[in-house]
Amino acid sequence: MATDQRTGDWYGTDEAVSRLRGQAFKSLCLGATLLALVSVFVLLLYVANDAFRPLSADIGWLLTFAASLLLPTLGATGYYYTRDARAGETAAIALGLPVVSLLLTGGVFITLEHIVTVYQWASIVVALAIAAAVVFAHGRVRTSADLERFIVLVAVPIAALVLIPDLILSLPMLPTEALALLGSVVVPVAVVVGWFVRRQRENDRDGAIAAGLTLVVAAAGLGLAPVVGLSPFVWMLLVVVTAVPVGLYVESVVRRGAGTAGLAFPVLVAGGVIVGVVVTEALGFAGPNSWLDWGFLTDPPSRTPEDAGFYPPLVGSVMMLLVIVVSAFPVGVGAAVYLEEYAPDRGWWGRLVDLIEVNIGNLAGVPSVVYGVLGLALFIRQGGLGSGTALVGGFTVSLLILPIVIISSQEAISAVPDSMREASYGMGATRWQTVRNVVLPEALPGIMTGNILAMGRAIGETAPLLIIGAPAVVRIAPDSFTSKFSAMPRQIYTWSSEIDAAFQHGVLAAGVMTLLVVLLLMNGAAIIIRNKYQRRD
């Protein structure tokens, strides 16, 4: 190149040649990037097509929905994109939040239906409330006994959790299930809502109103739910898990006054769906014969593709996630706190810590199938837990995602500015006080993001489940952590060995689509939390 330039005039044609090569190189790089993305997304479109089979619908059905749903949505998207980016953001969250919280409602429903009964949950809540009262009272009576308070803080809740729930469950008279739910789920949520609103608005009255409103609307379900064809139980869950976050978000957007136009978007979508349904019903257009429908989500697996469902694996995945949340997250965040806040970086102790960090990095690269073998040896053959149970599956996958949780939490913690720590230490705070009061609250959004992404990884893991003996087919949803379970990816693997095209291009596609939608929502939630948090800085 350099020799070329010496021969010609400085503005000669050489430049065109070099630019051509540069352009070609740039297009090649862009092409490679897009190739990877497009190939996978095209394949996923095929999967979506197989799962939903939109073309099996009447042409009239498709046209109706195109007019009632697709066009308005596209129009609104175009408007937000070109005119009002702020509202577009609101629109994305306003549509995504109800969907994510509905998903969460489903998770809570499954939990209360199969894993802990409402009564068990209520008794736990009562036990914790009693424990909190005792700890608080002790703090009031004995203000200076530090060690004693610490012991009380640990011992009382444990004692309460061991003793009180059984006592309550053995009571001869228990309130109805709906009342128990009202007391143990709705009331705590209402208190949290009231506290949250009070803090946001700096106004006691608004807090009380918000709490009261939550309570009243949820309690109204006792009478109103049958009218709309829901059980009071589902009504309350919908109010508490779906309506409350959505309501708080809408309220905050309205108060902020920016991007309110975005709130129209979910209304537009819901309206489009309703209009579409009403019109197609009236005109008698048949909808698509989707593999992925309500029946698929609520039925057990079957050898006949038309009857096959996904419900037991869904429950299994929820159970596994619960185990992971309880086991991997506290340990992972604790390890990250130690490594970032406590660990010395010199001396032989410092070298030991270096070793731990290198080890964590390497554990993140150990194949998941090896973790499966570890789980098998550790929990089943040594620990004596039953093979293929949700507990073992959860523990095994916990070990697998532990390095990811630690590394992402470490990043979040090290992003907390040192000036915050210095300010706290300078005030005479101890290390733990600094961690609890300053570092963790600041790092929380980052830690949450990392943990949700790690959960996404966990929910798709298959190989360890094969090794620890999760059964190929589970027809009845597991009802305890020690019964055999299947998870979504495990069931997908089972179906993949069916040769029937109805399985390969139907049931499997529906299962894969379900898994991907759950994952996409989780990752989307994580990314929204991350963006909100980054913007604040």
Chain residues 328-347 in contact with another protein, contact rule CB under 8 A? 330-332, 334-335, 337-339, 342-347
Number of helices (H) and strands (E), helices first, in the chain? 25, 0
Task: State the minimum distance, in angstroms, from the CB of residue 88 to another protein.
Answer: 14
The answer to whether residue 3 forms part of the interface with another protein (CB under 8 A) is no
Residues 161 and 134 sit within 8 Å (Cβ to Cβ): no
Task: State the minimum distance, in angstroms, from the CB of residue 56 to another protein.
Answer: 19
Nearer to another protein, 219 or 459 (CB): 459
Q: What is the largest CA-CA distance in the chain?
A: 102
Q: Around Cβ 128, how many Cβ atoms within 10 Å?
A: 16
Task: Give the whole-angstrom CA distance, residue 201 versus residue 504.
Answer: 54
Q: Tell me the C-alpha to C-alpha distance, in Å, between residue 462 and each of 66, 411, 468.
A: 38, 27, 10
Residues 200-229 that bind another protein (CB under 8 A): 202
User: Phi, psi at residue 484, to the nearest 5°?
Assistant: -60, 140
- Token pair in block for residue 148: 């004693």
- Which of 20-28, 166-174, 292-300, 310-318 is the region at the interface with another protein (rule: CB under 8 A)? 20-28
The answer to whether residue 28 forms part of the interface with another protein (CB under 8 A) is yes
- The binder of another protein chosen from 356, 473, 502, 517 (CB under 8 A): 356
- The binder of another protein chosen from 504, 521, 528, 529 (CB under 8 A): 504
Residues 380-439 that bind another protein (CB under 8 A): 382, 399, 402-403, 406, 417, 419-433, 437-438
The answer to whether residue 519 forms part of the interface with another protein (CB under 8 A) is yes
Task: State the minimum distance, in angstroms, from the CB of residue 235 to another protein.
Answer: 34
Amino acid at 184: S
Task: State the minimum distance, in angstroms, from the CB of residue 416 to another protein.
Answer: 10
Task: Give the whole-angstrom CA distance, residue 216 versus residue 230.
Answer: 17
Amino acid at 473: V
Residues 43-62 that bind another protein (CB under 8 A): 43-44, 46-47
- The binder of another protein chosen from 135, 413, 474, 508 (CB under 8 A): 508
**Which of these, 354, 355, 353, 402, lies nearest to 374 by C-alpha position?**
402
**Which of these, 417, 406, 413, 399, lies nearest to 358 by C-alpha position?**
406
Nearer to another protein, 5 or 482 (CB): 5
Residues 447-476 that bind another protein (CB under 8 A): 453, 456-457, 459-463, 466-467, 469
- Token pair in block for residue 407: 């590394």
Q: Collapse the DSSP code of 292 into the 3-class scheme (helix H, G, I; strand E, B; otherwise coil) and give the result.
A: coil
- The binder of another protein chosen from 4, 8, 12, 32 (CB under 8 A): 32
Residues 138-157 that bind another protein (CB under 8 A): 143-150
- Which of 83-91, 163-171, 315-323, 505-513 is the region at the interface with another protein (rule: CB under 8 A)? 505-513
Nearer to another protein, 171 or 432 (CB): 432
Task: Give the whole-angstrom CA distance, residue 219 versus residue 210.
Answer: 14
Q: Tell me the C-alpha to C-alpha distance, in Å, between residue 115 and each of 216, 413, 455, 480, 489.
A: 28, 34, 19, 6, 20
Number of shown-chain residues binding another protein (CB under 8 A): 120
Task: State the minimum distance, in angstroms, from the CB of residue 204 to another protein.
Answer: 11
